[in-house]
Chain A
Amino acid sequence: GNSVTQMEGPVTLSEEAFLTINCTYTATGYPSLFWYVQYPGEGLQLLLKATKADDKGSNKGFEATYRKETTSFHLEKGSVQVSDSAVYFCALSGAPEGGSEKLVFGKGTKLTVNP
């Protein structure tokens, strides 16, 4: 079945450092790929998404490119801020047309950014 493997954390960085969180997936067909973020005490929020190969999703300075050849969707940010401290989840939706589009999540990576 479909699955997502995500870089294990926790990850601790200093402010303005470069961030990469690796994500690879296994899926049949052509899934959509997502990064969700969960800030302390809050619900999951969609950070960015990509729906087909070579698409780049971006939001709030974060980027991820859908790489079908390497089945990857790594999250990057050039300069992290303290406010980026959160748990980040990679996810895919691989339902066939008309299906549920249920999300399959990775285990999450906790990021802490120190001033």
Chain B
Amino acid sequence: DTGVSQNPRHKITKRGQNVTFRCDPISEHNRLYWYRQTLGQGPEFLTYFQNEAQLEKSRLLSDRFSAERPKGSFSTLEIQRTEQGDSAMYLCASSLVPGQGTNEQFFGPGTRLTVL
């Protein structure tokens, strides 16, 4: 297993465009998390899935953001009508459900979004 992967690694877009990011978790991990990290700050929680169910969303996740995990494997995060304030590193992490083993979250390399 090569760990958590994210694509693309970098995305530059113009304000108002839609963008979609993909995360492939470690294959046996039930849980998948999305975080956002802006320059000079720590990551902030956006949302998480257990299998295909989205169980929690942060208030940071405006209605322009939508995340899916349709078959309980990979996940996508879409941002509609991007704004300059959306520029950030978007991180994905995966873990086992507590009780199934270590619940350590393993992070992907992130997708850096720049909105011009």
Contacts and interface: CB of A to CB of B under 8 A. Distances in A.
Interface of A: 4, 6, 36, 42-46, 49, 89, 91, 99-108
Interface stretch (B10-18, B65-73, B76-84, B102-110): B102-110
Contacts of B4: 43
A103 B91 contact: no
A43 B108 contact: yes
Interface residues of B, number: 25
Contacts of A36: 107
A103 B109 contact: no
Contacts of B109: 42-43
Given A43-B110, A44-B107, A102-B56, 5 more contacts: A6-B42, A43-B91, A46-B106, A105-B42, A107-B42
Contact of B107 (A45, A49, A101): A45
B70 to A, nearest CB: 20
- Pick from A46, A89, A102 the residue with the most CB of B within 10 Å: A102
Contacts of B41: 107-108
Given A89-B42, A91-B42, A107-B40, A102 B48 contact: yes
B103 A46 contact: no
A43 B98 CA distance: 23
Interface string B1-40: 0001000000000000000000000000001010100001
